A and B are shown apart, each in its own frame.
Chain A
Amino acid sequence: MEHIITPKVEHVKLLNKYPEKKSALGTLYLTATHLIYVEQTNNSRAETWVLHHHIMSVEKLPLTAPGCPLLIRCKTFQLLHLLFQKERDCQDVYQSLLHLSQPVKEDELYAFLYTPHQNQEDRRQGWEFISVANDFSRMGLSNEYWEISPLNKNYEICSTYPSILGLPKNASVAVVTGSAKFRSRGRLPVLSYYHKDTKAAICRCSQPLSGLTSRCVEDEQMLQAISQANPNCPFIYVVDTRPKLNAMANRAAGKGYENEDNYSNIRFQFQGIENIHVMRNSLQKLLEVCSMKSPSMSDYLTGLENSGWMRHIKSVMDAGVFLAKAVSEERASVLVHCSDGWDRTAQVCSLACILLDPYYRTIKGLMVLIEKEWISFGHKFSHRCGHLDSDPKEVSPVFTQFLECVWQLSEQFPCVFEFNERYLIEIHNQVYACQYGNFIGNCQKERLDMRLHEKTFSLWPHLLKNQHLYRNPLYRRSLESTVLRPSTLPLHFKFWCGMYNHYDGGMHPKQSVLDQLLSLTQKQVEGERTMTELQRLAVADGVLPDPSGLISTPTKQDSPCEKTPTAPVVQSNGSCAPLINGDAEEAVPGAEKCNEEEGAES
């Protein structure tokens, strides 16, 4: 690759976050896709691989006596602090990484180089594995109230929407197109989720172009049609997820929010989720807290508070809970929007889906949900993740916040998710990795134009293949029919150490309950297999002339089939992560060494 000036630099130090720990000495390699740091000590070899796409920023720090420091911050929240002996090497690596981490053209992305061992047919099947259309049928659509419409098949009504749209049956084409014209970027109200039990629907759109006085009959009719599609409730909620102030400011620019007087039977509601810029800055502050060296408890808690991050997570969760409650308890349909309807709206709708429908709490269900609410509805992954060298003001951790909300739920409800924390973290890593085509581009039309289905592979089959790693051993299907009612009291939110301090291994529990249980469920599958085998043998042996007949009786009682507690179908035979036992030699981060200052003498 033309960007790699020096493919290999020796004697590079990898500085440790904790000053008392010795830093590693090793060799740095730059490949077309990865930065690889190899630490070679006497008889061990440790490798750190960092995907170029995962690099968020590269910063040359001021020259120090021991060498030239280079700070690499990753979108996966990994932090690498390298120290070069020669200024020249540092500069070369810096230059190379600047280019490699921010490609200019789409076809430079990893996904276009990456070829797993799959043929064209596998690739096609991989892309078809998750289908939004199937999810509509799963919800029971079309039915007498809703239809799945091909109106947008050429992306003419709305270029950032998917080609198939769920629309109320009694909305005419004129109403649909008229409404689209009255909505920012044509993102008209369409179905996001249909709740079979209550017949209530969650619909999504962008803000209306109402300005200070404008109105649109078709848009009003559209909302009326949505309302009429739910026989169980005479009104619909219109939820503007923005803070009221932001929405009012938009009115001056010819956009804004619905005037309750113009729409019949709507109940309008603001939710107060901040915009992408506030979220970006908040994450920035949060990461500063996470990377503090030996902070005091006070520094940490104050930093956490000042970052505002937990407050934002709570605001998203609150809005999601509002939606789920409206649908499940009031049997009311809800129309959700923010400004463009592709950030906050996606967060809130998808979260509500998880609260309402146990299907989305499964490994495959979450894929469907992400494919539906995020990918197909035009969450601008390319912009928000900064895949390419583009406007940094477009970058925002909107999707990360959604994953965190799911994690917060899994902490409150440890038995209702089929997947574990690692699944969420893996999805997060993959979103930024661009190794698969799913998260490249900003909307379906763009992806179609890029011919991603022909040139890249889909992530989902890959995740499914490794699903044994992502299973939650505590998952109980029997609980699945319930609507989740999480507490959104501030004290029930936790800091997600597993995500934001993922690479600070010393901070995590030294023994993992998850690993322990995963290996047990693996053992269970093997045990059951052995049992069946042994029983077969026993029966066979029992068939032999055996005067006592003692053997056949106990084996029959021993049948394991009577009670299988969790029925975890571990599909892969690959071994699970090994049981981690007490890591005795893990140092104590933050605990000062004994060579402290002597007390002052009197």
Chain B
Amino acid sequence: MEFAELIKTPRVDGVVLHRPFMPTVEGTLCLTGHHLILSSRQDNTEELWLLHANIDSIEKRFIGSLGTIIVKCKDLRVIQLDIPGMEECLNIASSIEALSTLDSVSLMYPFFYRPLFEVIEDGWQLFVPEEAFKDLESMTDEWRLSEVNKDFSVCPSYPSLLTVPKDIDDESLCKAASFRHGGRFPVLSYYHKKNGMVMMRAAQPLTGTNGRRCKEDEKLINATLCAGKRGYIIDTRTVAVAQQAKARGGGFEQEANYPQWRRIHKAVERSNVLQESLIKLVEACNDQSHSMDRWLSKLEASNWQSNVKEILTTACLAAQCIDREGASVLVHGTEGTDSTLQVTSLAQIILDPACRTIRGFEVLIEREWLQAGHPFQQRCAQSAYSNGKPRSEAPVFLLFLDCVWQILRQFPCSFQFNENFLIMLFEHAYASQFGTFLGNSVAERLKLLLSQKTVSLWSWVNRPQELERFLNPLYEPNNLVIWPSVAPQSLLLWEGVFLRWNRSSKCLDEANQEMVHIIEYNKELQNKVNSLRRQLAQLETEDGPLQTP
């Protein structure tokens, strides 16, 4: 086993663990291929099991022969291990470093993890494109399911089955694909049942500096418009950025070639900028020596909240175009795998009540993120504590979850899931025993044989025992479109993620329990009242004939 070579010292006794808001634990530290384990070997004390994959970076310090390792995790937690013996400490540190930065995906824990629970419902089957298409077919016959990408040659980051306008043949799709960045030609993202308007997504068109055009691309998107109707193209980039993209062969749709479309530019940041933003935010949150002024100025300088506001605003705009203006929408940025997906998935949460259920939200993540080719593995390789120069890491998905949390906070009764569900997804996107977020596209996942070799996150989450933790007790299905406020006053810092390790959750947990208690008790009471009523009514009808002999 190759892991053994990386583990220089498999166990050390007398290690002291410090965690925020928890008592210190002294025990034995063990390193396995995938975990860092600290156990006090006493009953009733919690053990620490930390996935190496969750470790973002470590720091070493020495005072005499007492070494200290600060472990900074991708879920933003920071823990400290005091390790007696300089050699042991150095060995542990270098082992952790090696084990937490394994290059090969197939060495990752999900390939070794065997569930201790029985898989009742295979999460890999959660989203079946054919079934989703059947639903669509019941509402409209304007679309077809194309197999043009079945070997992933037309677009490596797309899934094999794609929903496209009925009148556009596969040949045209191939031509349109060659006109779009990474072959990501416009495909259906969402069908708005209420008025039949649609949202499509794509990558930027490859117009270049000389204004190339592509008849098939034009025809493809025009096919989604009703006669005489105009549509909106939402380019997530500013005009300036979109202009600059031309020099690199990219660009945007020219009015002359797309006369039925109106283009709107927004300013959703590119992924490398977002990574910087996350690092600054977490740094600000972890520095407790700040004065109020310094904290506010650092929060502002991180730009995180600005990013949340911009993404939500763009999603609201897309939703408005569809629901209020009754127009179809095409969303794209540059590659169509990041800001585009943030916008299309959030717009669906605003518009479609189904996305606000647990099942619906899981399907949304499958459809609009995993299948749509968001490169999870690249984006989530490192989190806020990475020391190295960021390659393609970016908290694109975390920002999406943050935006969902903002909507959830403003509509606390409209979501079937609670904040913990979103936090759980954040954690698993960055480090997990499940295979769901491995790989960067459907093609990669197939190659890795993930569905055979690993367990899906959904197989675990959807078990009733687990699901219970993620249910929102206040949920009442709400069929309306929900418009969040994007005023700065309405957008709060997501404490559940960013201040999670800087505060004791005791009081907030108590409040939550109390809330659940009130709701449960009420339900119970109403049930009892109803059943008693029924019994009495029954008694009366039974009594009736008796009294008239």
**Given the contacts A301-B299, A524-B522, A591-B320, A602 and B535 also touching, CB distance less than 8 Å:** no
Question: Given A524, A537, A591, which contacts B536 in the complex, CB threshold below 8 Å?
Answer: A537
- At the interface, yes or no: A87 with Cβ under 8 Å from chain B? no
A575 to B236, CA, bound (A): 48
Residues of B within 8 A of A530 (CB): 529
Q: Which of B511, B528, B532, B535 contacts A474 (CB 8 A)?
A: B511
The verdict on A584 contacting B480 (CB below 8 Å), with A300-B488, A538-B536 known, is yes
Interface residue from B255, B324, B413, B483 paired with A586 (Cβ < 8 Å): B483
Interface of chain A: mostly helix, strand, loop or mixed:
loop
List the B residue with the shortest CB-CB distance to A542.
B539
CA distance A531 to B521 in the complex (A): 13
User: Measured between C-beta atoms, what is the minimum distance from A468 to chain B in Å?
Assistant: 15
Within 8 A of A (CB), among B65-83: none
Specify which of B211, B316, B518 is in contact with A591 (CB 8 Å cutoff).
B316
Instruction: Count how many chain A residues have C-beta atoms less than 8 Å from C-beta atoms of the other chain.
Output: 88
Contact A591 B317 (CB under 8 A): yes
* Residue numbers in A under 8 Å from B414 (CB-CB): 511, 582
Nearest chain-B residue to A524 (Cβ)? Answer: B522
Binds B, one of A108-116, A247-255, A551-559: A551-559
Chain A residues with Cβ under 8 A from B293's Cβ? 305, 308, 311
The answer to whether A555 and B532 have CB atoms under 8 Å apart is: yes
Closest Cβ of chain A: how far from B504's Cβ, in Å?
8
Cβ contact within 8 Å between A517 and B481? no
Q: Assess whether A594 is in contact with B320, with CB atoms less than 8 Å apart.
A: yes
Stretch at the interface among B56-64, B212-220, B257-265, B450-458: B257-265
B296 at the interface (CB under 8 A from A): yes
Q: Which B residue's beta carbon lies closest to that of A487? A: B503
Q: Is the CB of A310 within 8 A of B481?
A: no
Closest A residue to B528 using CB positions: A558
Closest A residue to B480 by CB, please name it. A584
Q: Does B116 contact A (CB under 8 A)?
A: no
Q: Is the CB of A602 within 8 A of B246?
A: yes
CB pair A296 B488 closer than 8 Å = yes
**Cβ-based interface call for B114 (8 A):** no
Question: A310 → chain B, closest Cβ, in Å?
Answer: 5
| Chain B neighbourhood of A602, CB < 8 A | 211, 243, 246
A300, A534, A538, A591 pick with most chain B CB within 10 angstroms: A591
In whole angstroms, how far apart are the Cα atoms of A494 and B299 in the complex? 13
Is B532's CB under 8 angstroms from A534's CB?
Answer: yes
Those of A468-493 within 8 Å (CB) of chain B: 473-474, 476, 479, 487, 489-493
Number of interface residues of B (CB under 8 A): 88
Q: How far is the CA of A416 from the CA of B510 in the complex (A)?
A: 10
**Residue A234 at the B interface, CB < 8 A?**
no
Q: Within 8 Å CB of B515, what residues of A?
A: 473-474, 513, 517
Cβ-closest chain A residue relative to B233:
A599
Cross-chain contact A594 with B507 (CB below 8 angstroms): no
Given the known A-B contacts A489-B288, A491-B285, A537-B536, are A590 and B502 also in contact in the complex, defined by CB atoms under 8 Å? no
Contacting B at CB under 8 A, from A495-539, are 495, 497, 501, 504, 506-513, 516-517, 520-521, 523-524, 527-528, 530-531, 534-535, 537-538
Assess whether B511 is in contact with A509, with CB atoms less than 8 Å apart. no
Q: How far is the CB of A272 from chain B (nearest CB, A)?
A: 11
| Segment with Cβ contacts to B, from A49-57, A192-200, A560-568 | A560-568
Q: Which of B199-215 contact A (CB under 8 A)?
A: 211
Quick check: B292 and A314 within 8 Å, CB to CB?
yes
Cβ contact within 8 Å between A601 and B255: yes
Contacts of B239 in A (CB 8 A): 599-600
On whether the beta carbons of B535 and A510 are closer than 8 Å, the reply is no
Q: Can you name 13 A-B pairs with beta carbons within 8 Å?
A: A297-B305, A314-B292, A415-B510, A489-B502, A491-B299, A511-B411, A511-B414, A521-B518, A523-B526, A581-B478, A582-B414, A584-B482, A599-B242
Listed from nearest, the 4 A-B pairs whose CB atoms lie closest are A584-B480, A300-B488, A490-B295, A414-B511
| Interface of B toward A, CB cutoff 8 Å | 211, 232, 235, 239, 242-243, 246, 252, 254-255, 262-265, 284-285, 288, 290-297, 299-300, 303, 305-306, 308-309, 313, 316-317, 320-321, 324-325, 327, 409-414, 474, 476, 478, 480-493, 499, 502-503, 507-508, 510-511, 514-515, 517-519, 521-522, 525-526, 528-529, 531-533, 535-536, 539, 543
Interface residues in chain A, defined as those with a beta carbon under 8 Å from any beta carbon in chain B: 290, 294-302, 304-305, 308, 310-311, 314, 412-416, 473-474, 476, 479, 487, 489-495, 497, 501, 504, 506-513, 516-517, 520-521, 523-524, 527-528, 530-531, 534-535, 537-538, 541, 544, 546, 551, 554-555, 558, 560, 563-566, 581-582, 584, 586-594, 596, 598-602
